[in-house]
Structure 1
């Protein structure tokens, strides 16, 4: 029999599923508005720098998204899963020890990301099809943006810790502030203002670095101050390999899905780049919206994590599965509605970034094909977070593998046939539909037993 849950966990173990999911998801969705403002503002700034800059952003974007998915979705999900399960089982000391180890892992991961991108960015963007001016713009942005990788990893890890306790308000408020600060700073440094010179892509990237650094300081203070349900206790903390192993094992499994997602994006980026900078810039505008929709689905998936983790920690597996399905349905409905609107009226999004007819035509074609399948894609993304909370991510890895194989094989066939760019966007739609359908079926037939006994704190 599991230990009695901590008092703070009782409400999440008894509360009605749908209203509680809404209550936890709404702050996350509001936070996504901050991310939306940052993404729209940043892309608008890049658009003012020209088509080459937009094409360069399309090259660097998959790696920016991979960093966010690793730190916030995969490792962040693993942290939230293990911390919430410890709280559900009444093991507060273990939960606090996990926080210290998670932050240590975040620092190492952030430093590794910075080194790799400073050394390999030219080669990576070249492999993605970057040439000449777009390649130079992508490298200029990446060499500044990835200097702040430690801040991105720490901010997302601390946000995951707070979400594990059921506190969505504080991390959401900080993320909104980070998004607004990023817009202001990117505009000042990227386009120039007053005595600040116009720094172009490097200045836009600097805005992101400074905004995330500020958010990291704020959340670090909040956790250390004791205002949260669990406290960051660095003094006297000792490194416990068993706890680090638990985090890394679940995190490594969860990281397989982002690798597949970004691998799919890289294949598609390479395919579209063959059609010229205008097509690549248009696809980049479409990917930018996808970057916003992924966090919206994540809002419901993240809301499901503390409910599922605490339920499984307390032995309530049936409740955990009900939470996962409810969150997936909510994410599918929201993303599906957005996708259908943009399939019919893509100019609601595309006209904000450029007036180049060729770029607009490519972006519109992307939404005509991909938009109708956002519902399945959103449900699959939400189930990915829920599966991490249940420590059952194998099915989601298979779903991502299916999508990657479809895109890879289909892309090879399209290159051989010298297919037009619309055929590549049709392939995007097929991949989304396959991923969502496979995710739903695999979760349906994968049991969620209580977790195996883990290393004590």
Structure 2
């Protein structure tokens, strides 16, 4: 057998091992292999979700620019819900991973269960606010009267399903903290495949609100699969009813890690909301629609990048729990290198093939031109996105969620938002100027995050 055949055989065996979900000890052995085993299912987990984001926009795009704008504006607001979900998920991953590294399996399951209790309490107010104030939310985002009229039902359904969104993220965070990336992948694949199947059918029969209905049904099926495996599955974590008894000490620890992580993503997503509104103000509905198509394609590629970054969070948490500090640091640096190489190819794709990509989703010349420009500008910063994500997730995985929060605040609100207004309105670059602030801010974020990671205070954090 040739060297190439042996290499291919080893690669295929590693892929099968990563997808089988067999329990691995990530605190010893080859670091590249550990990254590979975690990253493959995490990339695949988020890849299909990103496929759905693009498929959804493809079918919604057939309903016209009001529908595209509605979905885009609603998704911008839902990023606040995602922020809560990601904040709780980040805390769950960090704490569960640390307990797994310490070989305290009961404590890991208990921490995950307490995070679910917090989730249920938190979501009630968010869902009610979304259902009751959907028209006002769309108006606040700069939507026209026509967009509000056509899209309010879609927005109500999406915001009213906040519990499902948060549960999907949170439970996958628990699985990832336990090193069971394959289970997290399977649950999101179930949700996304059902979404992709139902979306065109429901849009055909129910219009724009059908897209929201398909999304909620798909995500609900994914959550059902997750819950079954938490209680009845064969994974390393075994949830029991006693784990859900209110534990003030554990709840306090989870909240202490989760609230900075939540604000971390609210800060980031809030700046995106401001930019979305600024694009609508300076370019109109056509610019907003083009920007949303470009943004969905950006999400298509950035979610797998995030998947690789999640591998760094798991490796940091488990290795710190096992007392292997140097191994944790080496894992992050190697993951950042892999992510940067991967995203450099995406950057080239967006720079040279932006127009053909956008033309898949719309043939309207004005929207096509806006979308092409937006995709090229956003795509120019993909290497920076890759590095910044790994560094931030590494700090989060260590339980040091406050440092990335302050970094996000400085880079997004003190730099990106003012720069966007300066370029869009001050220098008269309009929507292109607003979008240009994105790669500039991400470059700064990558540099600052790298500095604080190398400084090493995250090594001393206790959770």
- TM value normalised by structure 1: 0.91
Aligned CA RMSD, in angstroms, stands at 1.9
Unaligned runs of 5+ in 2: 1-21
Q: 1:155 and 1:421, CA in 2 relative to 1: closer, same or farther beyond 3 A?
A: closer
Residue correspondence of structure 1 range 132-143 to structure 2 within 5 A: 132-143=145-156
Unaligned runs of 5+ in 1: 1-7, 193-198
> What residue is the counterpart of 2:274 in the other structure?
267
**135, 143, 147: which one aligns with 1:122:** 135
The 10-residue stretch of structure 1 (289-298 or 370-379) with the greater mean CA deviation from structure 2: 289-298
1:101 corresponds to 2:88: no
Encode CA deviations 1:309-338: one digit per residue, 9 max, x unaligned.
111112211111111222222222222321
Encode CA deviations 1:99-130: one digit per residue, 9 max, x unaligned.
21111122223323211212333233222211
Counterpart CA distance in 2 for 1:237 and 1:43 is 39
Counterpart CA distance in 2 for 1:374 and 1:56 is 27
> What residue is the counterpart of 1:12 in the other structure?
26
Counterpart CA distance in 2 for 1:264 and 1:19 is 37
Number of aligned residues: 439
Counterpart CA distance in 1 for 2:199 and 2:24 is 43
Residue correspondence of structure 1 range 219-238 to structure 2 within 5 A: 219-235=226-242, 237-238=244-245
Encode CA deviations 1:273-330: one digit per residue, 9 max, x unaligned.
0111110001101211232333212211211222211111122111111112222222
> What residue is the counterpart of 1:443 in the other structure?
453
**157, 165, 177: which one aligns with 2:190:** 177
- TM value normalised by structure 2: 0.90
**Is the CA contact 1:350–1:363 (under 8 Å) kept in the aligned structure 2?**
yes
> What residue is the counterpart of 2:303 in the other structure?
295
Q: 1:37 and 1:297, CA in 2 relative to 1: closer, same or farther beyond 3 A?
A: closer
Counterpart CA distance in 2 for 1:326 and 1:70 is 29
**Is the CA contact 2:130–2:156 (under 8 Å) kept in the aligned structure 1?**
yes
> What residue is the counterpart of 1:4 in the other structure?
none
Q: 1:9 and 1:449, CA in 2 relative to 1: closer, same or farther beyond 3 A?
A: farther
Residue correspondence of structure 1 range 57-456 to structure 2 within 5 A: 57-71=71-85, 73-192=86-205, 199-235=206-242, 237-274=244-281, 275-401=283-409, 402-413=411-422, 414-452=424-462
Cα offset, 1:339, TM superposition: 2.0
**Is the CA contact 1:373–1:432 (under 8 Å) kept in the aligned structure 2?**
yes
Counterpart CA distance in 2 for 1:368 and 1:158 is 35
Cα offset, 1:389, TM superposition: 1.0
Cα offset, 1:218, TM superposition: 1.0
Counterpart CA distance in 2 for 1:116 and 1:329 is 42
Counterpart CA distance in 1 for 2:76 and 2:298 is 11
Counterpart CA distance in 2 for 1:428 and 1:306 is 28
**Is the CA contact 2:114–2:244 (under 8 Å) kept in the aligned structure 1?**
no
Q: Secondary structure at the match of 1:432?
A: helix
**Is the CA contact 1:13–1:307 (under 8 Å) kept in the aligned structure 2?**
yes
Higher helix proportion: 2
Counterpart CA distance in 2 for 1:391 and 1:283 is 35
